[in-house]
A and B are shown apart, each in its own frame.
Chain A
Amino acid sequence: MNWFIRGLKKGIQTEREPRGTPQWGSALKVNKEFKDCPTGATQGGWDAGKCVFCRRCFPDLSPTGDHRMGKVSRTEAKFSRSFYLYPIDVGTCGGCNAELKLIASPQYDMTRFGIFFTNTPRHADGVVVMGVITEGMREVLRETLEAVPSPKVVVLMGACAISGGIIGEKVDVDADAVVPGCPPSPNTILDVLIKVKGGKGW
C-alpha cells in the first residue's frame, strides 16, 4: 500500500490533551513523614528534582498522576514561534534520551507547538542537558554551551542532571528550567518546553 494512503488511513493520532502519564512519573504527595529516601528527596516536603521515583516511600508518599512537575525560571518569548533544541547526553542511562525523542512521536507532535530538534548547537535556541556529569563530557558540554548563540535557554532534564539522582554528580550550570523525572515522561518534558517559550504549558 502506498505510504501516503496508509498514513491517511491511520487518521489523526495526535492528542489534544496529555495522556498516558505513568503513576511513577508524576508528582508525589506527602501523606506522612518518610525518612529513608535514598536521595534525600523527602527532607522537608518532597523535592521533585531529587526524586528517582523508586517507590520506597509508598504509601507515605503517593503518586498524584499530575505530570506538571517542572520549574521554569526564565521564559524567552523570542522563541514563541520556533524553538530549536540541541540535546546533549553527558552521562545518561539512555532513558532520558529515549523519552525526549518521543515528544516527536505522533501522539505528542512537538512541531505543532513550534518545537524542533537540530543537529548542531550553532543552530540551536536551547540545550537540553541529560545525565550525570562525567569527566569526558565536561569539556564537550562547555564547548556546546559556548557554541549556542545568545539568547539561549538551558534546560536540565532528569534527576541525574538536576541533582545527581542515585548515580553520580549533578550538572553544575545555570539552568533556565528543570524537568524532573527518572526519566521524565514526554508530557512533563512538553509542559516545560512550552512554558519556556512563553506558552501556558501542557
Chain B
Amino acid sequence: MTASVSFWRSAGLSLLILAIFLGAWEIAVMPKAGGGGAALDPEYAALLGQAAAQGGTTPMPGPSAIGKRLFELLADPFYVRGPNDQGIGVQIAYSLLRVGAGFGLAAIVAIPLGFVIGMSPLLNAALNPFIQVLRPVSPLAWMPLALYSIKDSAISAVFVIFICSIWPMLLNTAFGVASVRREWLNVARTLEAGRWRTAIRVILPAAAPTIVTGMRISIGIAWLVIVAAEMLVGGTGIGYWVWNQWNNLSIADIVIAILMIGLVGLALDRLLGLGARAVAWRE
C-alpha cells in the first residue's frame, strides 16, 4: 500500500493542490461585475449582528486579502495596546502557557499514578470504574464546576486542560507499565535490582514509548480544547481572539487564526514526535 514516493513529487503535488484551492477561492470571492444589491438572507443578516444592522456587508476575503492581513499581523505579533488589543503572538503565547501548565500538571499527576496503577492489579481494578466514567466526559463540562470552585477564569481554563490531558497519559502509562515483559522483570529480580532501580532502569524505558504516545494524544486534545475553553472564559488567548474577531467581523483574522492554530498544533505534535523517537526501542 504505502510504496515510498519521492519527496519532491509529493511536495509538488501538495503545492499544486494549494494553488488550485487558493486560485478557486480568489475567483469565487471576486466582486461580481454587474452585481450590487444582492438580497441578503435575513437569517444570515441576523447572524452578522451589528455590521449587518448598520447596513454594511462583510464580504468573504480572498487569499490575497488574507495574505495582506497575515503580513500585517506578523509584522508586529507581540504588541500590547490595552487588554482588548494584543498581537496574535501574545494571544498564542497565552494559550500555549495555559496548555503547558495544564498539560504539565497532568503529566506530573498522571505518569506516577499510572505507574502505580500499572504495577498493582488491585489498584488498577479499584480505580478503573472511576476512570471509565470520568474519561468520556467532555472537558468543557467541568468548566462551570471549575469556575464555581476556583473562582478564577484563568485558572479554570488551566484546570480544564489538566482534566482533558490526564486520561490518555494515565491510561497509556498504566497500560505500558502493566505490559512490560515478564522476562525483563525476571532479569531485574535475579539481579536483585530492587524496586526503585527496576522502576527507573527497566519499567520506565520499557513503557516509555507507550507513555509518550499518551502524552502526544493528550497534547493534541489539550490544544483542541483550549480554543473552546478560551472562548468561554474570555480575556486572553487565541480562542478568545477568534471570538473577538468574530464580534468585529474580521473574517480574514479568523481564517488566519485557524491557520495559526493548525500550525501550532502541528508543531506541538512534532515536538512530542521527537520525544517519541528519542525513547523508541526496537527488538
Q: Do A and B come from one complex?
A: no
